[in-house]
Structure 1
Amino acid sequence: MIKKKILSDSKDAMQQALVAVKSGIPVATASRTYDVPRMTLYYKITGKYPEDRKMGPSTYLTLTEESGLVTWLLHMSKCSFPITKEQLLDSVQMIVKKLERKTPFADGRPGRHWYEAFLKRHHEVSQRMSQNLTSNRANVSEENIRLWFKKVETYLKDNKYFDIVSDPSRVFNTDETAFFLNPKGGKVLATRGEKAVYSRSGDEKECLTTLITGNAARDLTPPMIVFSYERIPSYISNSVPREWGIGKSEHGWMTGETFYMFITNIFHPWLKKIQIKLPVILFVDGHSSHLTLPLSEFCNKNDIILVALYPNATHILQPMDMAVFHALKSCWKKEVIKWRLLKGQEKLKKEHFAPLLR
């Protein structure tokens, strides 16, 4: 009787099991000894399966496609865009849909088992815990900010992009924000001594995510509004200006797919229409969850240079947060109040949103 061996590589185990069976060891014994599936071993011995076929289910992406994902993951990590598990799975989903490839994945998006197998196949990629700065947002130091500026400057100079920053029309920033359909009311006039004054406004928590993008020359691109519908009703889509973007997601949040749609269908065509010189720089949130492989490939091909803002410092560095959103939301609140007065306190609905925001 042969001694059972502990093997870390299932392919090596199967090969040794095959050798054992060919030397006269029963299939069942070899299966137990080398810890390989008995029927798979039997089918290989009888010729039903080729001997050099890998154990386990076949991969649904080719070697070239998976190598492209690995290259992208490692490159983005070096560029201060560490990719999360969700972003990787979003990228695979977009690739599968684009190729119209049949897979057992729900809606083309792989799950935990594919993800774990992917990491086993590619040992150069490891799952690491990114440095958690969120709770220490107030502790972002001047030194860190200056180091970030220096790193970006070096990157732009090394790639012959630094001259772009001297042209404000070619330097862009994008960020998303939520607009409440029925924002809280401000101070009002009422009977002296009244303890509580109420204003009928509908659900004050209902909001729509909107992506706002502009450059340092004060040009705004058409925005994108994200709705929480599988199929957006025509009365809502028809209310959105034709040149604006319309996205949809389960929760009404910006996703990798909706952000890709914005860049490919709104932002890039707008650059060409306005005849802005390429390449351009687009500063995005350093912790953005919207980056996918198809987006990176599109941007590289079409001269859109993505640069990550320093994480957890948007309250210092994010131009949209610093100079646009506060003023925009203040005006939005005033316009909603005017609209209610004209409509007799009617609740603002989603079909009213885009015309009023415009």
Structure 2
Amino acid sequence: MIEMQLHSLRMQLPKRNYRVGYTPETVRIAIERIRSGELSMGTACRMYSIPKSTLRDKINGRTPIESTQGPNPFLNRAEEGRLVEWLKHMAQIGYGRTKHELKLTVKKIVESDGRKTPFSGNMPGRRWLRNFMKRHPDLSVRRPESLGIERATVTKEKISQWFHEYEAFMKEAGIEDAVSDPSRLFNVDETGFPLGVKNERVLAARGARNVYQRTLTTSQQITVVGACNAAGSYIPPLIIFPGLRFGYNALEGAPDHSSFAKSKTGYINSEIFFEYLSNHFLPYVKSLHVYFPIVLFVDGHSAHINIETAEFCVKEKIILYCLPSHSSHLMQPLDVAVYKSLKTSWNKAVREWMTDHYGQYVTKQSFSSVFAVAWEESAKKKYARSGFRKSGLYPFNANAIDPAMLAPSTVFHRTEQPTTATTVSTSMPLQTPQSLPPPSSIPPPSSIPPPSSLPPPSSLPPPSSIPPPSSQSLSPPPSSNQAAASTSSKPPSSSFAANVAALHALESAMGEAIVSNFQRRQMEGCDMSDPMYYTWFKLKSATTIVTPPPSSMGKHSNSYVSPAFDEHLVYPKRAMASENKRVLPHVISGKAYIKMLKEKEEKKKEVEAAKAERKRVREKKKMKNQKKIIT
């Protein structure tokens, strides 16, 4: 009965908070202020809410400053930091690693290093991966966007050269005022809309073995050609349907003033593009009362341009200017801002239409009405202006493109990064046995007079006559195990040897009792009012060798990185791009491009004539052989 009452009383008491009320940074500050003599041990413990035993252990090096509860990870802090750096860089250059590939890489590392792990077959499990992600909240699982090999080779130099040539051309043509007029800068581009959209997550019974979604199995899509200028004005879209015959009104429910075309494949070709420019684009631009000439940015695909288009643009003062090849995801304003929003709105509109028409799917007959909903939501001025701004076309800015989007084009060699080593001491030098002064430089005990022959402390020389600690001995510790190894091979400094000799002479003169008292005062912390203690404290700080605890030495140190990481954390190398490609002129409506098109047409006619001649010779030879057989 009494035990039950005691248990109920304990349950009523407020629960004790076992959460640590300090951080590693506050521990470092407290240790610095104690070692400098600014605070005593008790004052620092009360000020920073650190238990006295904990702070004493960290000062003495029995426990590291940064420690966690539970078992230590089999990869230390520096190794996990190296792994995180590798994962981030691989994702940035287009070679992101999956969860399974990360665990497989860790398995290869521990097996190469010969480490013992609690994992089956040295393969980390889901729990390790979950804890790894918690320890590094700057990592997340993302679904990457597909990036073709051609787009991955677009470099910063290529973009900068294009901007330089564009600016030079506009000045040479005497129309540099168009660069600063947003109403005269246009962009035209086409994109495809599949009739069947991807499935989304649906609500179903928990534990259901199979969940189905009825979808349209065709891969057919409709091409839409859109255009806008940097001021935010849109040209009504051109919708291209696959097929040559229509028994329905293709533009029923389409956006206002839209037009449509038809092709066998449903894709745009040079004839359709010419009709679009002459009968749709130009009349609408003139209705906007825009000053000519205008600049029309295109991607330069061969399907767009023919001689008729180039000559028409010259006549109508339309400067067709090609963007860099394979850079539409970077410099095509419609691709950068407008079409991304349009595709999202399209998927949403299709789902809503299918919800209102159960059992039916979006077809060519109903495409225009569904597309009109998505076009109305996405054809906004802010998206057009954002696209021109992000691509650097208006305002003119050659550095507008995010460098992170050009990372896949960089040379995939690992760059030297500073290692994130944990500093052992903040005010005392980290010395190694090799850096200690040689025995010959320290006076032997026999050369020091006994305490009885020395004068009392009151008659000792003033602290100013004792050489102060050298600033060289107070240099910060190396930041990595490699740096420590390099410094350990250097000869010991003469200043450190002088400080050791001065401290040895001072302690011999003071006697064991005074030295023991000073050591206790150093541990507890005190003020600097005693000049003799101040001198001893400075010499002691300059000659004290602070070493990490035994569990943190060598391969178990938080700053140690196994050589196996260099072996398995590899970076891909980019293949050299071929330089034998023909460089096309940027100005499609210029004389050079028209000349090139005419040469291409003449060469095409020559090839066709040669093909027809070979066919005529074969037919003639065939008829001759048939006559021989008959006779």
If the TM-score is normalised by the length of the shorter chain, which range does it land in? 0.5 to 0.7
Q: Is the 8 A contact 2:239 2:259 kept in 1?
A: yes
Q: 2:292 aligns with which of 258, 271, 278?
A: 278
Q: Say whether 1:349 aligns with 2:366.
A: no
Q: Is the 8 A contact 1:281 1:304 kept in 2?
A: yes
Q: Is the 8 A contact 2:252 2:368 kept in 1?
A: no
Matched residue type, 1:250: K
| 1:249 aligned partner | 263
| 2:192 aligned partner | 178
Q: 1:188 aligns with which of 202, 206, 216?
A: 202
CA distance in 1, matches of 2:211, 2:237: 36
Matched residue type, 1:179: F
Matched residue type, 2:188: T
| 2:171 aligned partner | 157
Unpaired segments ≥5 residues, structure 2: 1-147, 373-631
Q: Is the 8 A contact 2:252 2:369 kept in 1?
A: no
CA distance in 1, matches of 2:221, 2:268: 13
CA distance in 1, matches of 2:311, 2:222: 29
Cα deviation, 1:281-320, whole Å, max 9, x if unaligned, reads 1100033421011111111111111000000111211111
Task: Answer with 1 or 2: which has the greater Rg.
Answer: 2
Q: 1:235 aligns with which of 232, 243, 249?
A: 249
Q: Say whether 1:331 aligns with 2:345.
A: yes
Q: Is the 8 A contact 2:295 2:320 kept in 1?
A: yes
Q: 2:273 aligns with which of 259, 274, 299?
A: 259
User: CA shift at 1:351, angstroms?
Assistant: 1.6
| 1:303 aligned partner | 317
User: CA shift at 1:356, angstroms?
Assistant: 1.6
C-alpha change, 1:274 and 1:145, in structure 2 (3 Å) is same
1:282-297 matched pairs, under 5 angstroms: 282-297=296-311
C-alpha change, 1:195 and 1:163, in structure 2 (3 Å) is farther
User: CA shift at 1:196, angstroms?
Assistant: 3.2
User: CA shift at 1:202, angstroms?
Assistant: 1.5
Unpaired segments ≥5 residues, structure 1: 1-133
Q: Is the 8 A contact 1:170 1:277 kept in 2?
A: yes
User: CA shift at 1:235, angstroms?
Assistant: 2.9
TM-score between both structures, scaled by the size of structure 2: 0.35
Give percent identity, aligned residues only: 36
Matched residue type, 2:273: F
User: CA shift at 1:233, angstroms?
Assistant: 2.8
Q: Say whether 1:312 aligns with 2:326.
A: yes
Matched residue type, 1:351: Q
User: CA shift at 1:186, angstroms?
Assistant: 1.5
Q: Is the 8 A contact 1:201 1:345 kept in 2?
A: no
Match of 1:222, SS state, is strand
| 1:210 aligned partner | 224
CA distance in 2, matches of 1:286, 1:292: 11
CA distance in 2, matches of 1:210, 1:194: 40
Q: Is the 8 A contact 1:184 1:204 kept in 2?
A: no
1:40-189 matched pairs, under 5 angstroms: 135-189=149-203
Q: Is the 8 A contact 2:241 2:261 kept in 1?
A: yes
Matched residue type, 2:322: A
TM-score between both structures, scaled by the size of structure 1: 0.60
Q: Say whether 1:269 aligns with 2:274.
A: no
Stretch moving more, 213-222 or 234-243: 234-243
Report the RMSD for the aligned CA atoms in angstroms.
1.7
C-alpha change, 1:328 and 1:261, in structure 2 (3 Å) is same
CA distance in 2, matches of 1:136, 1:180: 24
Cα deviation, 1:7-49, whole Å, max 9, x if unaligned, reads xxxxxxxxxxxxxxxxxxxxxxxxxxxxxxxxxxxxxxxxxxx
Cα deviation, 1:46-65, whole Å, max 9, x if unaligned, reads xxxxxxxxxxxxxxxxxxxx
CA distance in 2, matches of 1:239, 1:355: 4
**Runs of 4 or more off by more than 3 Å in structure 1?**
237-242
Cα deviation, 1:112-159, whole Å, max 9, x if unaligned, reads xxxxxxxxxxxxxxxxxxxxxx74431221111100100111111111
Q: Is the 8 A contact 1:173 1:319 kept in 2?
A: yes
